[in-house]
């Protein structure tokens, strides 16, 4: 069976993580990530080594919950979140933020999935006006939903802007490892060091089976998050199985190895696609996604062999995602199917 380019969560679990799960399966361990669970304690220490000691870390099942609960913890129901229209939080969480937080999302149209302080500025006029929801969080995705990445100084500008207006900066880091590799920088250089307040730290899209982390960059902000998590139905009783995965993920830079591979494959895929003169790459290829406009008729033909998602029905833009297990042969196979599909 061919692999797909649908998403980096269509791939399986990388062998190192599978092995860590097997190892964690051998004994009885205290439930709920309590002090007697060595996997959870060790994974938290690894997060501290990566991001700095002044953080608090909580594991949850999935990325939607990491976003919704991380944001919820810092908001009252009359607060609003400012994000790109394309943000997963805004478009792909089935209005979970609206339901579970009661928050309003103030969306910004973007070409590249990135927002800038000057685009947030118009919302400030609502602050102090009792008839309007009060902007309280700026939420960005790193990597964005358009496959682009923020430079550390762009994130710092947003964090400074947020803090200057009594707001917080949230980062959806479902693909944070891919961003770090693309930037050639440590994750802390564009999170801890530039003023991010809370982030969702992704694992599932980079070789894990399941599990994401909510990281607060100031333990005061994360205070009592365990109650938000439990009420949010995301406290895993067999916590060790999320923790053991993260523990391995953050050992010997497995996160970097997997993300480097996926990014490299996306570069290779983009290079191969550039051979096709009729096909336009629509976004800068920064991490592990390639966004292209395909001839409409070719789309279902290629999807039969190598599935991918259509990103824009009007322009026939599609998203091709590479993963920790994408191979050169997958790319060549895709290219040959594409070549045949666009002949007709």
Ligand X SMILES: Cc1ncc(COP(=O)(O)O)c(C=O)c1O
Q: Which residues bind ligand X (CB under 6 A)?
A: 62-64, 88, 141, 145, 172, 174, 204
Q: Are strands 134-141 and 198-202 parallel, antiparallel or unpaired?
A: unpaired
Residue 233 tokens, joined: 């139905």
CB within 8 Å of 195: residues ≥ 6 apart: 155, 156, 159, 160, 162, 163, 169, 217
* DSSP secondary structure string for all residues of 184-197: TS-GGGGTGGGT--
Nearer to ligand X, 148 or 260 (CB): 148
Nearer to ligand X, 249 or 337 (CB): 249
Burial of 47 (0-12, 13-18, 19+ CB in 10 A): buried
Nearer to ligand X, 96 or 279 (CB): 96
Whole-number Å distance between alpha carbons of 176 and 97 = 21
Tokens 């649908």: give the residue: 6
Whole-number Å distance between alpha carbons of 40 and 37 = 6
Residue 1 tokens, joined: 């069976």
Least Cα distance to 87 among 55, 69, 109 occurs for: 109
Tokens 């939903």: give the residue: 145
**In whole angstroms, how close is the CB of 210 to ligand X at the nearest point?**
8
Nearer to ligand X, 172 or 247 (CB): 172
Nearer to ligand X, 56 or 90 (CB): 90
Residue count (the chain): 344
**In whole angstroms, how close is the CB of 307 to ligand X at the nearest point?**
15
**In whole angstroms, how close is the CB of 93 to ligand X at the nearest point?**
7
Nearer to ligand X, 133 or 171 (CB): 171
Query: How many other β-carbons are positioned within 10 Å of the β-carbon of residue 267?
Result: 16
Least Cα distance to 173 among 49, 278, 259 occurs for: 259
**In whole angstroms, how close is the CB of 34 to ligand X at the nearest point?**
25
Nearer to ligand X, 29 or 207 (CB): 207
Residue 223, classed as helix, strand or coil, is: coil
Q: Which residue is nearest to ligand X (CB)?
A: 63
**In whole angstroms, how close is the CB of 300 to ligand X at the nearest point?**
23
Q: Are strands 134-141 and 104-108 parallel, antiparallel or unpaired?
A: unpaired
């Amino acid at each position: 069976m061919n692999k797909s380019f649908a998403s980096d969560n269509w791939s399986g679990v990388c062998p190192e993580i599978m092995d860590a799960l097997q190892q964690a399966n051998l004994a009885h361990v205290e439930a709920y990530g309590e002090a007697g669970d060595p996997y959870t304690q060790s994974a938290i220490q690894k997060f501290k080594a990566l991001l700095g000691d002044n953080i608090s870390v909580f594991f949850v099942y999935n990325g939607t919950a990491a976003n919704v609960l991380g944001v919820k913890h810092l908001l009252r129901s009359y607060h609003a979140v400012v994000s790109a229209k394309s943000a997963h939080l805004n478009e792909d969480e089935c209005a979970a933020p609206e339901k579970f937080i009661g928050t309003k999302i103030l969306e910004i149209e973007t070409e590249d999935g990135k927002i800038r302080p000057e685009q947030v500025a118009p919302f400030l006029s609502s602050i102090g006006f009792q008839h309007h929801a009060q902007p309280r969080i700026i939420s960005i995705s790193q990597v964005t939903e358009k496959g682009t990445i923020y430079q550390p100084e762009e994130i710092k500008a947003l964090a400074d802007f947020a803090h200057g207006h009594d707001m917080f900066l949230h980062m959806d880091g479902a693909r944070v490892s891919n961003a770090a590799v693309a930037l050639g920088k440590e994750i802390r250089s564009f999170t801890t060091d530039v003023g991010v307040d809370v982030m969702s730290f992704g694992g599932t899209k980079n070789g894990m089976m399941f599990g994401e982390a909510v990281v607060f960059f100031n333990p005061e902000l994360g205070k009592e998050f365990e109650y938000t998590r439990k009420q949010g139905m995301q406290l895993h009783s067999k916590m060790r199985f999320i923790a053991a995965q993260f523990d391995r993920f953050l050992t010997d830079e497995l996160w970097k190895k997997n993300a480097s591979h996926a990014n490299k494959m996306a570069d290779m895929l983009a290079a191969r696609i550039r051979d096709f003169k009729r096909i336009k790459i629509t976004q800068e290829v920064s991490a592990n996604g390639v966004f292209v406009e395909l001839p409409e008729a070719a789309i279902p033909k290629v999807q039969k062999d190598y599935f991918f998602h259509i990103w824009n029905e009007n322009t026939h833009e599609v998203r091709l995602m590479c993963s920790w297990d994408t191979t050169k042969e997958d790319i060549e196979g895709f290219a040959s199917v594409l070549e045949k599909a666009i002949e007709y």
